[in-house]
Structure 1
Amino acid sequence: MGSDDPWFREQYPLKHVAKQIFWTLAEGRVLRDAQSVLFTCEEERLRARGVFNGHPYKERVVLFGTADPEGDPERQKRDFISAFSELQGRKFLLFLSRIHPKKGCDLLLQAFAELAPELSSDLDLVIAGPDQVGWVPELQSLAQRLGIAARVHWPGMLKGDVKWGAFRSADALILPSHQENFGFVVAEAMACFTPVLVSNKVNIWREVEASGCGFVEPDSLDGTRNLIRRFIALPAEGRAEMASKARSGFLKYFDIEVTARDFARAIGFDSGAPLSSSVLIKND
C-alpha cells in the first residue's frame, strides 16, 4: 500500500494516526499471520519498515512488471507527431504521469527554465497526463512567468499508440516525483528504448541505476536540474548506449514473462506447494 511509504506519514500526519489504529487492530495482524508479504522492489520494502508500529511480518521482494508494448514503433511515433504537430522536428523531455504535486512538476518547470540558456534551442518539455486536482492552470502560469511557456507542451492524457509514440519519440522520460510506489511509466519507457531520469523517491530507482539506463538524483530543485544537465551533457553515443541499456533493463527486471515466473516461485507454484498459501502483495 502507498500508505506504507514514510512520505504519506510526513505529508498527512493526522491521517497516519488513523491508519496506525487500523493497522494495530486489523491490517497489521493480517500481515503478521501471512506466509509472506510481497514487495515489488527493494526500495519499497526498505521504506515500508517502521512506518507502522507493531505486528512484524515476513518480507519478500517479487519482481513486478508490465507487458511489452505491441505495435509498429515507427507508426506509433507518426501517430504521436500527427496528434501534436507542434512537436514536429523538435526534441523533447517527456513527463508522463498524473499531474499532481507529489510528482514534482513544478520542480521540473523551474529546473528547465534555469537551464534554458544551456539547452539546445530545439529541446522542449512535454508534460502529459491527467490533471485530477486542477493543477495545470497554475503550472501553465508558472511556465509563463519563467519565460518558457512556448517550449512547454500540455497534451493531456495519452493512450494507446499515441502514448507509445510519445515514449518512442522522447529523448528521455523524466519523473522527479516526491513519492512513487513503483513507477510503471519508467518500466514502460525502458521497454521503448527510452532513457529515464528519475528522483530517488521513485521506488525502482535502484533498478534504473543497476541497468545503467538513466540517472537518479534527489527530489529537489538541485536534483531535478542535475538530471537534465547530466543527460544533455551526454554525447550521442552515450545516449544511444543508455537507450539500449533501457531495453535490456526492462527485459531483466520488468518484462511480464520474467515477473510472472518470479511470482510463481514466491507462491510455491513451481515447487508443488499449494496455491492456497497466504500471500499478500503490498502495492497501490
Structure 2
Amino acid sequence: MQLLHVINSMSPLSGGTSQAIRNIIPNLESLNVKNDVVCLDAAGQDYGVRDNFNIYKIGKGKTSYQYSPVLVDWFQKKLQYYDVVVVHGIWQYANYGMYKAIKKIKKSQAKLPKVIIMPHGMLDPYFQKATDRKWKALRNEIVWRLTEKKAINAADAVFFTCEEELNLARTTFRGYKPKLAINVGIGIPNPPEETAEMRAAFKQLSPSVPNNYWLFLSRIHPKKGIDLLIAAYNNLCLKTRNIPDLVIAGPANSAYAEEMIAMARDNSKIHFIGMLSGKAKWGAFYGCQAYLLPSHQENFGIAIVEAMACKKPVLITKNINIWREIKADNCGWVLEELTVTAVEQQLQEIAALPVAKLKQKGVQAKQTFEDKFNVRNQSKIFVSTLNNIIKA
C-alpha cells in the first residue's frame, strides 16, 4: 500500500499531530505500507530530528489559513501514485485543497486514491464554546460552511482517535454527514526501560524534590486546568501535612506561567522545574506516584499515556477524550466536575490510598496502555481499516 500523509507542518514545535505521524510510520512500514508526507514547511527547514521517511516540503502558503495553489498542483500531479491519502487536521487549506484536487482529477478519469480525514480532536465542540475563543469559533463556523463541510462529507472516511472524539464530532456543526466515521485509535511507542540514569537526570534538574511526589507535565496554559490544581493543592496542604509534593514540569517563559508561579509562591511543596525532555522526562514519570492533568480539553493527551506506559495511575477529567478507557479499566481517576473543590477532594482520596493500591492502579494503567494505546497494536487496526476501505 502506498500511503500519503498530508499535514500543515511536520515541525515538532507544531504540536502532537506531527509526533503522531512520526510514531505510526515505522509501524506502518513494518506492515508493508510505504509512507510519504507532504507539508507546507519551507524546503530548507530543519526539524532537529532525523526522519527515515520522505517528506515533501513545498513551501508555506499565504496567511494563517495557508492558502496554497502550489499544493493543489502538487496533488494533481502526485495523487495517482498513492492508494490512500490521510489528511491530518482541519481548518487549514490542505484539507480543502485535497477536495479541489480530487474534483479536478475526477474530470480526467485518472486513478484516484481513497481520501481519509483525521481531525485529531479539531471537531471537538469545546473549541466552539470556550469563552476565550469567540472570534476563532466564528471563523470556524464560516470556514465550516464554505469549505470544511464539503471536504469532510466528500472524503471516503473520517478517522477518529477514540470513541469519545467520534461521538463529540457529531454534535459540533450542522451538515456534518461523513460517508464513514470510524474509531481507529491512536498510540505511542513503548517508553524506554527505567534506568538509574533517568532518575539521576531528573534529580539533577530538581534537587529539592523529594522521592514522594505527584507530577503535572504539560504546557503551562489556561486550558490545562493548572490554576485549579494549584489552588486545590494549596487548600489541601492547609488541612493535611503528609501528602506528596507537587512537581510542575513545563515551559515557564510566559505571563500565564508567571501567574501560576505566583499562586504557588508560599507553598514550598510545589516545584516548578521547567520543561523536561529525554532521560529527565522519563525519570520524572518513573519516579512519581501519580500523574495529574485536570485539563479543560484534550483529544488524546500523549503525556497521559506516557505516564500510563510507565505504570503510573492518572488523574484526568471528562474533558479528556480517552476518559472512558481509563474509567472502564480503573487505572486512574476521572473528575466529573472541573472545580477547585472537586480537584481537592480527589487529591485527598489519592493521598489516603496505600502505596500498594497506587501500584496496583499503576500496573493496570500499563495494561491499558498495552491493550488500547500501544502504537504497534493500533497500527494493525489502522492498516486493516484502510484495506477494508480500499476493497469496498
Partner deviation per Cα, 1:235-281 (whole Å, 9 max, x = no partner): 2221111011011011011111111111112211xx5936xx9xxxx
Gaps of 5+ in 1: 278-284
Q: Would you say 1:74 and 2:188 are equivalent positions?
A: no
**Counterpart amino acid of 1:85?**
P
**Counterpart amino acid of 2:354?**
P
Offset at 1:118? 4.4
Q: Would you say 1:27 and 2:27 are equivalent positions?
A: no
> Would the aligned equivalents of 1:94 and 1:127 in 2 still touch at CA under 8 Å?
yes
| Matching residue of 2:29 | none
Partner deviation per Cα, 1:49-81 (whole Å, 9 max, x = no partner): 221111411211111010111244333122211
TM-score scaled to structure 1, two decimals? 0.89
| Matching residue of 2:334 | 216
TM-score scaled to structure 2, two decimals? 0.65
1:152 to 270, 276, 288: 270
More displaced stretch, 106-115 vs 135-144: 135-144
| Matching residue of 1:281 | none
> Would the aligned equivalents of 1:211 and 1:248 in 2 still touch at CA under 8 Å?
no
Take 2:192 and 2:367, find their aligned partners in 1: how far apart are those partners? 17
2:185 to 52, 60, 63: 63
Partner deviation per Cα, 1:148-198 (whole Å, 9 max, x = no partner): 2x1111111100111011000111000000111211111000000111011
Q: Runs of 4+ in structure 1 displaced over 6 angstroms?
A: none
Q: Would you say 1:251 and 2:251 are equivalent positions?
A: no
Q: Would you say 1:91 and 2:212 are equivalent positions?
A: yes
CA 272–42 in structure 1, closer or farther in 2 if over 3 Å, else same: closer
Gaps of 5+ in 2: 1-118
1:196 to 310, 314, 321: 314
Secondary structure of 1:94 counterpart: strand
CA 132–141 in structure 1, closer or farther in 2 if over 3 Å, else same: closer
Secondary structure of 1:228 counterpart: helix
Q: Cα RMSD over matched residues?
A: 1.9
| Matching residue of 1:242 | 361
Q: Would you say 1:143 and 2:264 are equivalent positions?
A: yes
> Would the aligned equivalents of 2:247 and 2:272 in 1 still touch at CA under 8 Å?
yes
Take 1:229 and 1:121, find their aligned partners in 2: how far apart are those partners? 11
Offset at 1:207? 1.3
Is the radius of gyration larger for structure 1 or structure 2? Answer: 2
Percent of aligned pairs with the same residue? 35
Take 1:131 and 1:34, find their aligned partners in 2: how far apart are those partners? 41
Secondary structure of 2:191 counterpart: coil
> Relative contact order: is structure 1 or structure 2 higher (C-alpha 8 Å, sep ≥ 6)?
1
| Matching residue of 1:110 | 231
**Counterpart amino acid of 2:197?**
R
**Counterpart amino acid of 1:242?**
K
Aligned length in residues: 269
Question: Where do 1:43-62 residues align within 5 Å?
Answer: 43-57=164-178, 58-62=180-184
**Counterpart amino acid of 1:200?**
K
Partner deviation per Cα, 1:66-106 (whole Å, 9 max, x = no partner): 0111244333122211221111x431110001110010110
